[in-house]
Amino acid sequence: MKLFLSRRSPGMRSGMTLVEIMVATAVGSIAMAAIMSLWLYSARSFVAMGNYADLDRASRNALDLMSREIRGTRSLSSFSTNHLQFVDFDGSPLTFRYSPGTRELTREKGATNRTVLLEQCDFLAFHVSQRNPSNDFTFYPTTVASQAKLIDVSWRCSREILGARVNTESVQTAKIVIRN
């Protein structure tokens, strides 16, 4: 009986060459980079959508409260582009004030009740008009508080998303009529 020793042919050797390892590493790195960029884009989009929903909710709540209270006031007593002061239905002063330094819109009822309606507000402006519209459906502006019947308010809020300031809220605007 003859004993045969088998030798492997050169094509059947196990292991990887340096070139194969380098190609596999390059392909794996490209795949990981693509996955990481997709993950970062998705995370940024998810945060932006949540931020937009939160800013939209805050804007809607502020506008609902302002509309309800302005419609019920007796009259406007003084105003500027960032300040409105009314005589409320009970005779006490009601003030809406925007502070560019703190980026806040506040509501003040009387001397002690102060509430922040909007935070992180980059721009806010009040415009006061008479009730009667012109021929082109705009309203005549007024400089006299006793003639004011229409309040036009506009604002824009933004927040930082992952270190970059992004406008995630378009300009909100409304026209509110003083009913009394």
Q: Decide if 1 is inside a domain.
A: no
Q: What's the rounded Cα separation, in Å, for the pair 25 and 23? A: 5
Q: Decide if 8 is inside a domain.
A: no
State the pLDDT confidence band at 35, using cuts at 50, 70 and 90.
Answer: very high
If you average pLDDT over each of 5-19, 85-99, 133-147, which comes out highest? 85-99
State the pLDDT confidence band at 10, using cuts at 50, 70 and 90.
Answer: low
Q: Decide if 51 is inside a domain.
A: yes
Q: Decide if 126 is inside a domain.
A: yes
Give the total number of structural domains in the chain: 1
Please give the pLDDT value at position 9: 59
Q: Decide if 163 is inside a domain.
A: yes
Q: Decide if 11 is inside a domain.
A: no
Please give the pLDDT value at position 167: 57
| Higher pLDDT pick, 95 / 179 | 95
Domain of 132, in residue numbers? 24-177
Amino acid (1-letter code) at residue 84: L
Q: Decide if 9 is inside a domain.
A: no
DSSP 9: -
- For 53-83, b/e burial (b = at least 16 CB within 10 A) is eebeebbeebbeebbebbeebeebbebeeee
Token pair of 19, please? 């070139």
Which residues, other chains included, contact 151 with Cβ-Cβ below 8 Å and sequence gap of 6+? 70, 76, 84, 126, 127, 128, 129, 175, 176, 177, 178
State the pLDDT confidence band at 113, using cuts at 50, 70 and 90.
Answer: confident
Q: Decide if 147 is inside a domain.
A: yes
First vs last C-alpha separation in the chain:
119
Give pTM, 2 decimals. Answer: 0.73
Q: What's the rounded Cα separation, in Å, for the pair 133 and 156? A: 26
State the pLDDT confidence band at 106, using cuts at 50, 70 and 90.
Answer: very high
For the stretch 121-148, pLDDT in tens is: 889 999 998 877 777 777 888 888 888 8
- For residue 115, pLDDT over 90 is answered with yes
Q: What's the rounded Cα separation, in Å, for the pair 29 and 127? A: 57
Please give the pLDDT value at position 168: 61
Q: What's the rounded Cα separation, in Å, for the pair 141 and 128? A: 6
